[in-house]
């Protein structure tokens, strides 16, 4: 201990040996294990994955597609030929559900992922620059929050045959509008979180060492807001799916001939007494989708929470190594 500058070759060798050994469980592993221990969350993940797979390959299990009219089966209940019956126009409901699920998942995933990305960039930029930039960007953000999104969606998707409406399918248009109005809350959260992280001593320590700003952002800020980002992605996906259904349900948003879960549910409301399956089938699918995401979100939150009561072998093991360390 007294000879400070000599390097003990044995220690270096020991270190090399330790590199490969599983001395410490990585944080990601702990999170993964905690998530996998949460049965509800795993069930949610399984349902969501199953629905996604279904929406892509489900079409191959039937000969019908969402455009072909079966003139002999109009408004029929489920049968061997039409698994989920047909609509009043004679279109196979199964084929439409598969298509609608795919569109809904697509909208959810794109909006969820991209809006969190936008929010992260916007929020971090605000926190990083601060001052005037922060003020102006916050103003824009609040102004966007103030805009009633629903009206803008309505205006954008019901334009009179010109502009965007003509060039883009309605689902893509909806994605764009939802994106514009979905990232502000997360951005504000990320801003305040990053700002408080910037004040933390370990960030200051890096600054005082002269570590460049971008490396601090990348190595300290991003990993520390990572859990929030993951949570917000699942929340964002749920939110986008719900928004699509809500908008399409009252007739703005996605318009026929494009199909989505919202369109199917909304279209069936008027005959819910006479053709109940037309209403309940897409509604069930929607519940499975949003419900599975909520279950996942719950499990993820618990897994990320350092004070989580979901203690398992991982935590105990960490404790054990600590005790061992003291003894040695």
Partner 1 sequence: MLRYLAKRGITYVFMIFLTTSAGYFLAVSSLKPALLEQERIPRPTPEQVANSMRLKGLDPDLSPWERYVEWLTAIVTRWDWGRSPNGAFINAEFGDRVWISTRLFLASIVLTLVIGVALGVYSAARQYKFQDRVITSYSYLAYIVPAPIAYFLVQLGAININETVGERIFFVTGISTPGLEPGWAQFIDMLAHYAVPTVAITLVGWGSYQIAQRQYLLDNVNADFVRTARAKGLTRNQAISRHALRVSFIPVAQSIAFTIPAIFAGGFFAEKIFAWPGVGSWSIDAISLQDVNAATATLAYGSVIFALGAILADFATTLVDPRVRVQ
Partner 2 sequence: MSSEIAAGRVEQPQSPAERLHVAGLHAPSDAILSVRDLNVRFNTENGIVHAVRGVDFDLMPGKTLGIVGESGSGKSVTSLAIMGLLPTTAEVTGSVRLKGKELLGLSDKAMCEYRGNELAMVFQDPLSSLTPVYTVGTQIIEALTIHNPGMSKQTKEARAVELLAMVGIPSPKERLRAFPHEFSGGMRQRVMIAIAIANNPRVLIADEPTTALDVTIQAQVLEVLHTAQEETGAAVVMITHDLGVVAGMADDIMVMYAGRPVETGAVDDIYYNPRMPYTMGLLGAVPRVDVAEKSSLVPIEGMPPNLIHPPTGCSFAPRCPLASDACLEGEPALAPVPDGPLHLAACIKSGSLGGDVDVLDVFAAPPVPVSRFDAIPREERATVLQLKDVRKHFPLTRGALLKKRIGTVKAVDGLTFDIREGECFSIVGESGSGKTTTLLEIMEFHKDQDGEVVIGGISNKKAADARAKSAMRRELQMVFQDPTGALDPRFTVYEVLAEPLQNAGMEKPAIRKRIMELMKLVGLQPDHVNRFPNQFSGGQRQRIGIARALAVNPKLVVLDEPVSALDVSVQAGVINLLDKLRAELGLSYLLVAHDLSVVRHISNRVAVMYLGKIVEIGEVDRVFDNPRHPYTRALLSAIPVPDPQLERTRERIILQGDLPSPLDAPKGCNFATRCPVFAALPKTKQEKCLTLEPPLLPVTPSPAAQTLAADPLPALDQRFACFFPDGEIDEDMLVVHEAADHHAP
> Considering the rule CB under 8 A, would residue 242 count as an interface residue with partner 1?
yes
> Considering the rule CB under 8 A, would residue 159 count as an interface residue with partner 1?
yes
The smaller minimum CB distance to partner 2, of residues 135 and 219, is found at 219
Q: For binding to partner 2 (CB under 8 A), which residues are involved?
A: 1, 4-5, 7-8, 11-12, 14-15, 18-19, 23-24, 27, 200-202, 204-206, 208-211, 219-220, 223-224, 306, 309, 311, 316, 318-319, 321-323, 325-328
> Considering the rule CB under 8 A, would residue 136 count as an interface residue with partner 1?
no
Nearest approach, Cβ of residue 108 and partner 1 (Å): 12
Q: Which does 209 bind (CB under 5 to 8 A by kind): partner 2, partner 1, none?
A: partner 2
Q: Catalogue the long-range contacts made by 130-138 (C-beta closer than 8 Å, 24 or more residues apart).
A: 130/195, 134/191, 138/191
Nearest approach, Cβ of residue 297 and partner 1 (Å): 10
Nearest approach, Cβ of residue 146 and partner 1 (Å): 5
Q: Which of 162, 201, 209, 274 touches partner 1 by CB under 8 A?
A: 162
251: left (phi over 0), alpha (psi -120 to 50) or beta: left
Q: Which does 223 bind (CB under 5 to 8 A by kind): partner 1, partner 2, none?
A: partner 2
User: With contact defined as beta carbons under 8 Å apart, do 183 and 243 qualify?
Assistant: no
Instruction: Using alpha carbons, list the distances in angstroms from residue 45 to 155, 165, 236, 281, 287.
Output: 36, 35, 16, 21, 14
Residues 6+ apart with CB under 8 A from 28: none
Q: Which stretch binds partner 1 (CB under 8 A): 90-98, 141-149, 185-193, 199-207?
A: 141-149
Q: Which stretch binds partner 1 (CB under 8 A): 61-69, 121-129, 185-193, 239-247?
A: 239-247
Nearest approach, Cβ of residue 63 and partner 1 (Å): 31
CA dihedral sign of residues 313, 316, 322, 326 = negative
Nearest approach, Cβ of residue 192 and partner 2 (Å): 16
Nearest approach, Cβ of residue 15 and partner 1 (Å): 44
Instruction: Using alpha carbons, list the distances in angstroms from residue 179 to 111, 192, 237.
Output: 6, 21, 11
Distance CA 219, CA 124 (A): 13
User: With contact defined as beta carbons under 8 Å apart, do 188 and 141 qualify?
Assistant: yes
> Considering the rule CB under 8 A, would residue 245 count as an interface residue with partner 1?
yes
Cα separation of the two ends of the chain:
16
> Considering the rule CB under 8 A, would residue 269 count as an interface residue with partner 1?
yes
Residues 6+ apart with CB under 8 A from 22: none
Distance CA 64, CA 61 (A): 9
Nearest approach, Cβ of residue 247 and partner 1 (Å): 9
> Considering the rule CB under 8 A, would residue 283 count as an interface residue with partner 1?
yes
Q: How many CB atoms lie within 10 A of CB 175?
A: 22
User: With contact defined as beta carbons under 8 Å apart, do 250 and 257 qualify?
Assistant: no
Contact residues toward partner 1 (CB under 8 A) are 139, 142-143, 145-152, 154-156, 158-165, 238, 242-243, 245-246, 249-252, 262, 265, 269, 272, 283, 286-287, 290-291, 293-294
């Amino acid at each position: 201990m007294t000879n400070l500058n000599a390097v003990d070759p044995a220690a270096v060798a020991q270190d090399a040996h330790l590199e490969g050994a599983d001395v410490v469980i990585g944080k990601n592993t702990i999170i993964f294990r905690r998530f996998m221990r949460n049965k509800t969350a795993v069930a949610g993940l399984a349902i969501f994955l199953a629905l996604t797979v279904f929406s892509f390959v489900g079409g191959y299990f039937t000969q019908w597609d969402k455009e072909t009219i079966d003139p002999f089966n109009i408004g029929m209940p489920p049968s061997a030929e039409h698994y989920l019956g047909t609509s009043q126009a004679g279109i196979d409901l199964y084929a439409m559900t598969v298509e609608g699920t795919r569109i809904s998942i697509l909208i959810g995933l794109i909006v969820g992922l991209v809006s969190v990305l936008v929010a992260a960039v916007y929020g971090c930029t605000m926190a990083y620059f601060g001052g005037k930039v922060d003020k102006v960007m916050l103003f824009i953000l609040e102004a966007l929050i103030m805009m009633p999104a629903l009206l803008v969606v309505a205006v954008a998707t019901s334009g009179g045959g010109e502009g965007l409406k003509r060039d883009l399918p309605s689902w893509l248009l909806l994605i764009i509008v939802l994106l514009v109005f979905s990232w502000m809350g997360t951005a504000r959260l990320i801003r305040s979180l990053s700002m408080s992280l910037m004040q933390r001593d370990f960030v200051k320590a890096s600054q005082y060492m002269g570590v460049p700003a971008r490396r601090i952002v990348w190595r300290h800020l991003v990993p520390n807001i990572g859990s929030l980002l993951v949570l917000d992605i699942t929340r964002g996906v749920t939110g986008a799916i719900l928004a699509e259904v809500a908008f399409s349900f009252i007739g703005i948003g996605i318009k026929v001939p494009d199909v989505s879960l919202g369109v199917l549910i909304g279209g069936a409301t008027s005959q819910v007494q006479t053709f109940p399956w037309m209403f309940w089938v897409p509604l069930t699918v929607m519940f499975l989708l949003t419900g599975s995401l909520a279950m996942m979100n719950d499990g993820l939150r618990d897994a990320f929470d350092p004070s989580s009561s979901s203690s398992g072998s991982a935590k105990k093991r960490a404790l054990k190594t600590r005790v061992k360390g003291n003894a040695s």
